[in-house]
Amino acid sequence: MENSDEYINVEDALKRVGGNMGLYKRLLARFTDEDHIGPLEEALNAGNKEEATHLAHTIKGVSANLSLIKLAAAAADLEHKIKGGLDHSDSFSELKQVYVITSDKVAEIV
């Protein structure tokens, strides 16, 4: 397993958890055990801008704290577009794709 790539920066994350790989693995598992994309997609489809913005913001924050680099960036882009009332369909598609790849990479770690 690589310690860092364009999707996950394990070294950076370990600094946040005091070098405790067991804790980091538990946090990653808890994050990927939850469905983050389904509720976001539902909010977007329902036109619930406030809820969609909140969910994208949450994904961005948790991903950043776990050093899931590309996922945090994709969520930030989506959040920005939702807030700005911009077309966000491509951003949501990108987020879903990055989420799948990131989840696969997380599975290699946990």
CB atoms within 10 A of CB 32: 19
DSSP code of residue 9 = B
Whether residue 1 has pLDDT greater than 60: no
Whether residue 101 has pLDDT greater than 90: yes
Fold of 10-109: Four Helix Bundle (Hemerythrin (Met), subunit A) (1.20.120)
Whether residue 10 has pLDDT greater than 90: yes
Single pTM value for the model = 0.89
DSSP H helices, 1-110, are 10-16, 21-33, 37-45, 49-65, 69-83, 89-109
Domain boundaries, the chain: 10-109
Looking at 1-5, 22-26, 44-48, 77-81, which range is the least confident one?
A: 1-5
**Percentage of residues in the chain with pLDDT exceeding 90?**
85
Q: What is the mean pLDDT of the chain?
A: 92
